[in-house]
Structure 1
Amino acid sequence: MHARAAATWEAVRASYWFIPSLMTIGAAVLSVALISFDGRVGAEWIREVPFLYGNRPEGARAVLSTIAGSMIGVAGVTFSITIASVVYASGQYGPRLLANFMDDRGNQVTLGTFIATFLYCLLVLRTIRTAAEGEGAVGEFVPHVAILVGLALAVASVGVLIYFIHHVPESIHVSNLVAGVGRDLLGKVDTLFPERIGEGNATREADGEDPESPLPDGFYDDAQRVAADGAGYVSGIDADAVLRLACEHDLLLRIRHRPGDFVADGDTLVLAWPPDHVTDETRDAIRTAFAWGAKRTARQDVRFLIDELVEIAARALSPGVNDPFTAIACLDWLGAALKDLAGRDFPRPERYDDDGALRVVAHPTTFEQFVGGVFGQLRPYLASDRNAALHALKTIGEVAGRVADERQRVALRHEADAILDGADATLALEADRLSVRQRHTEVTRLLSGRVGFEAMTARTDWIGGTA
C-alpha cells in the first residue's frame, strides 16, 4: 500500500471515532431493513408465539423512548469516565500513552454500542403510528421484530456496561499498562525483524564492509537531494516502492532518515545518484514513499515503544513518585525485547536488485543502538535507586546469556560500567554501592565468558539480590 495511504488508514483505524461510526451506520441500516421486514410480514405472527407479547403503539413508543434516553445518558457517562481515566494515566505514566487508550478496542466498542443502540431506537421510534395517525388505507403500524431487536440491543448494552466498568480500572493498572506496551514491542520486533539467526537472511551480506563503502566516489558531491514537502515525524517508509523506483530509473538511493526521525520542510529525505537520472517526477515519486505526521507511531518504529517503556520507568524513578517496582517491570519487558533482538539477524544497510546491483543504502537501527536506547536513557534514573540499578544489571546479564556477537557484548559491558559509575557517584549508603559492585562483577564475568549463564543464574544470590 502507498506509504501515505497506509499511514492515513492506520490513523483512521486507530481513531476513537472510526469503530463507533461503523457501528452507528450499521445500526441505521439494520433499522431500515427490519422496518421493511416488519412491513412485509405484518403483526399476525407474534400472536402465535406464546412467550412473546405484541405492543400497542403507545407501549412501543414508551419502550423505545426509554431505551434511547438511557443509552445516550450512559454514553455520556462512559465517555466522561474514559476521558478521566485517560487524563489520569497520561499524567501519571506519560502523555505518549494517550495513543494506547485511543486505540483501545474495548473503549471504542463500548461507545459504539451505546450510540448505535440510541440511533437504532430513534429511527425505529419514528415509524410507529396509531390508526388515527395513518393516512388513507394505512392503519396503525408497530414493527414488532424491530422492537424485539431493540430490546436485545438494550440487554447487550447492559452487558457492555458491566464489561466497561471492569475494563477501565484494568486498563489503567500500571502492570497491565506496562505489559500491553511490552507485548506490542515484542510483536513489532517479530514483524520488523523476522529473520532469526540460523534461519537464513533475506538481505545480501556485505562481508563486514563499512556501510558507506559501496557508495561510488564523489557520491555526496554529485547526488541530487529529494527534500521533504512537509514537517513531522517519519511514520513509515515504503521500502519496496523505493527499491522499485531505484530499479526503474537506474538510481542509487541513500535514505537519510528512518521511522521515528523528525524532518523539517526542506530536509533531505533521500540522496539520488547519478544526477542526470533524477527528474522532478522522480523526486515526487520517491517523496510519496515516505509518510510523516505530528506524532511518532509504532507502525515501523520499534524505538517508539522502547521510549514509552523508558518514559514510564523514568517517571516511576523520579523523586516525586519513587516507585522502583514499576521501573523493574518496565526493565523486564525491555529485557525481553533485547533478548529477542539478540537472536535475530539485523538487516544490512544495502539493498540490491535481482542483478546484484546496489540500489538503496538505508539507515537501519542496530542492536547496539537499541541497548543504548534502553539503558543509556535510563542511566541517570537508575543511578539513584539501588533496587532499579541491581535489576538493570541483572537484565544486562540475562541479555548477555543470549548474545554471541562481540560488538553486542561490548555494548552491554559499556552500559553495565556506566550504571556502576552512576551508582558509585549517587548512592549514599556504602552497603548499597557494595551490592551494585557485586552485581556488576557477576555481569562482567558473564560478558567475558568466564562463567556460563546457567551456572551464574543457578546461584541464589543472583535472584535474591534483585529486590
Structure 2
Amino acid sequence: MRARLLRLAHQLRESYWFVPTVMAVGALLLAAGMVWLDSHHATQWMDRLPWLYAARPDGARSLLSSIGGSMIGVAGTTFSVTIAAVVYASGQYGPRLLSNFMSDRGNQVTLGTFIATFLYSLVVVRTIRSPGEAAGEAAFVPQLAVLVGVLLVLCSIAVLIYFIHHVPSRIHINSVIERIGDSLLKEIDERFPVFVGKALDQRDDDRIPDAFRPDASTTAIERRAGIRAKHTGYIQLIDEDALICAARESKLVLRLQYQSGDFVHRGSILVEAWPGDALEDEAQTALRAAFAIGSRRTGMQDLRFLIDELVEIAARALSPGVNDPFTANSCLDWLGAALSDLARRDLPSRLRADDDGELRVIAHPLTFAGFIDRGFGALAQYASADMIAGKRFLAALGDVALSCGAASRVAILAKQASQFRDLADGALKGSNRDAVLDRADELLRALAQPDYRRRLRDSQAWLGGTA
C-alpha cells in the first residue's frame, strides 16, 4: 500500500492538473471569505482611503469582468505555449523527457494563478448589487474582495513575466541536462549505501538457502513459492521496508526477480519465497503490494532510467542528422560527475538482513561495472565516431578514475577506455583518429600505474578539457 501511495504522490507531482486544481479551490474559498468579511462591515476603514474605495457597483462589476475575461484568455495562451514547448522538447530531446516538463512546478503554478484569478473574479462579481436591483435590499459592493482581486491581477502580471522567462530557459538543452544530472546525483545520495534492510557481507553466501543456490536440487526448488504480478507494466517503486517486514513476520527468505525499472507482465513472478509452505495469503498480498507498477519508467528508484536519459540525449546529439557534439559533451560531464560520486561509495550487498541479523532478502547485485557499462558503455559507439565527443568521453573516464580508491574499479575504467580506443580506431580517420588515440593511450598509461591519481592530476590540462 505504501508503494502505491508513493507512486500516487509522484504522479500528482508530474500531473498538470493537481496544482491548478488546488489553487482554483483556494481561490473559491478566498472569494467566499472576502465577501463574508465585506458583508459583515469589516471594510469600513477603507472609506477613509478614497484611492482604495470602489465607489460604484457598475465600476466594480466592470473591473472584475475585465479581470475575469482577460485571465481566462491569458490562461489559454499560457496552456498553448506550454504544450508547444513540450511538443518541441519531446521531439528534440526524446519522448521520455516529457515527464520532466509536465512535472515543472513553474508551469503548473502559472496556469493555476490565471485560473484562480479568473474563478475569484467570477465568484465576486456575482455578489455585486446595484441600487434597486433587488427589492428591499441595499446596494452592495464587496470593497475588500475587489481590492484583493486587483492584487491578484498584479500577482498574475508578475507570474506572466516569470513565465515568459521560464519557458525558454527550461527548454534550453543545458537546463534539461542539468535537471536530469541533479536528479541522478540526488538519487545516488539517497540510495547508497542504504538499501533494503541491513547489509550482510558478501562472504555470507553460505547463509543463502539451498533452494536459491545455482546447484539446488529438485526437492529444494519445490520448496520455493512465487508471488506473481497482477498487472502489466514497469516496476516504478519497491517498498523495501514492506518486504523486510513481511518476510520477518512470516519467517521467509525472499529473492527478488526484478528491480525498479524492469518490465513485468501479468503472471510474472515478482519475488520467490522460501520456505513456500510458510507463505500465507496475507503475506502474498503484502508482498505483492510492495511493488508499484505503472505504464512507464520513472526516476523514483531507477538510477538506470536517469542514466538512460542522459545517454539518449547524447546519442541523439551525435546522430548524423543532428551532429551536435557539444550537447553530448554536457551529458558526458554530468554522467562523469554522477559516476564519480558513485565511485566514492560502497555499493550494497545483495544479501539484506532484518534488525535481528537474519537473512530476509536476496536482491539483484548492484555493481560499479554495471553502472559504467550503462552509461559510458552505451555511449561509446556514438562518441567514438566524433573527435570532440571522444576526447570528452576519455576526460570523463579519467575524472571518474580520480574518485576511485579500489584497484578493481580502476581496472573496470581501464577496460572501458581500451574498448573505446578500439572503437575509435575503426570509426575515425586521419588527424581526428590520432588525437583520440593519443588521449586514450595517455589515459591507459596513467591507469596502469599505482600512482594513477597523481598522473591524472598532472595531466589535468587535458583531463578537464576545454569549454
Q: Could you tell me the TM-score, scaled by structure 1's length? A: 0.94
Tell me how far 1:212 sits from its aligned partner.
6.3
Shift of 1:122: 0.2
The one-character-per-residue Cα deviations of 1:167-205 (angstroms, maximum 9, x if unpaired) are 010001111111111111111111111569xxxx95222
Q: Assess if the C-alpha contact under 8 Å between 2:391 and 2:436 holds in 1.
A: yes
Tell me which residue corresponds to 1:148. Answer: 147
- Summarize deviations over 1:2-44 as a string: whole Å, max 9, x none: 1112111211122111111100000000000110000001664
Give the 5 Å matches for 1:406-445. 406-429=407-430, 431-445=431-445
Alignment of 1:156-171 (within 5 A): 156-171=155-170
TM-score (norm 2): 0.94
Written as runs of structure 1 = structure 2, the 5 A alignment for 1:77-226 is: 77-136=77-136, 138-194=137-193, 203-207=199-203, 209=205, 215=212, 217-218=216-217, 219-226=220-227
Equivalent position of 1:72 in the other structure: 72
Q: How does 1:29-48 map to 2 (within 5 A)?
A: 29-41=29-41, 44-48=44-48
- Hey, what does 1:349 align to over in structure 2? 350
Identity level (%): 49
Offset from partner CA, 1:201-244 (integer Å, 9 cap, x none): 95222338599688464454431111110010001011111011
Matched positions, count: 461
Q: In the alignment, is the contact (CA less than 8 A) between 2:350 and 2:363 conserved in 1?
A: yes
Alignment of 1:278-427 (within 5 A): 278-427=279-428
SS in 1 for 2:203: coil
Letter in 2 for 1:139: A
8 Å CA contact 1:397, 1:446 repeated in 2:
no
- Cα shift readout 1:52-102 (whole Å, capped 9, x = no counterpart): 233311101100000000000000111111111111111111111111101
Q: Structure 1 residues 465 and 41, CA, compared in 2 at 3 Å: closer, same or farther?
A: closer
Mean CA deviation greater in 444-453 or 108-117 = 444-453
Q: CA deviation at 1:48?
A: 1.1
Q: Is the 8 A contact 1:316 1:327 kept in 2?
A: yes
Q: Deviations over 1:384-414 (max 9, x none)?
A: 1011111111111111111122332232122
What is residue 57 of structure 2 aligned with on the other side?
Answer: 57
Q: CA shift at 1:446, angstroms?
A: 2.8
Alpha-carbon separation, structure 2, partners of 1:129 and 1:83: 40
Structure 1, unpaired ranges of 5+: none
Q: Deviations over 1:415-445 (max 9, x none)?
A: 211211111111122x222212211122212
Matched-pair contact (CA < 8 Å) for 2:353–2:360: yes
Question: Greater shift after overlay, 373-382 or 351-360?
Answer: 351-360
Match in the other structure for 2:18: 18
| Partner AA of 2:390 in structure 1 | A
Q: Are the counterparts in 1 of residues 395 and 464 from structure 2 also a CA contact under 8 Å?
A: no
The one-letter amino acid paired with 1:159 is A
2:255 is paired with a residue whose SS is strand
Change (3 A) 1:464 1:352: closer
- Further displaced range: 389-398 or 446-455: 446-455
Contact 2:131/2:139 (<8 A) preserved: yes
Q: How does 1:188-267 map to 2 (within 5 A)?
A: 188-194=187-193, 203-207=199-203, 209=205, 215=212, 217-218=216-217, 219-267=220-268
Kept in 1, the 8 Å contact 2:37–2:43? The answer is no
Q: What is the SS of the residue equivalent to 2:227?
A: strand
What secondary structure is seen at the aligned counterpart in 2 of 1:207? helix
Q: Aligned partners of 1:242, 1:345: CA distance in 2, in Å?
A: 23
Aligned to 1:3: 3
Greater CA drift, 165-174 or 397-406:
397-406
Conservation of the 8 A alpha-carbon contact between 1:232 and 1:263? yes
Q: Give 3-state SS (helix, strand or coil) of 1:253's partner.
A: strand
Q: 1:408 to 1:210 in 2, by over 3 A?
A: farther
CA distance in 2, matches of 1:417, 1:386: 16
Question: Is 2:395–2:465's contact at 8 Å kept on the other side of the alignment?
Answer: no
Comparing 294-303 with 272-281, greater Cα deviation is found at: 272-281
Q: 1:450/1:120 Cα in 2 relative to 1: closer, same or farther (>3 Å)? A: same
Q: Offset at 1:134?
A: 2.3
CA distance in structure 2 between the partners assigned to 1:465 and 1:110 by the alignment:
40
- Residue 369 of structure 1 deviates from its aligned partner by 0.7
Q: Give deviations 1:129-168, integer Å, cap 9, x for gaps.
A: 11211232x2111000000000000011000000000001
Across the aligned residues of Structure 1 and Structure 2, the Cα RMSD in angstroms comes to: 2.1
Distance verdict in 2 for CA 1:383–1:68, change over 3 Å: same
| Alpha-carbon distance in structure 2 between the residues aligned to 1:112 and 1:454 | 54
In 2, Cα distance between the equivalents of 1:343 and 1:202? 20
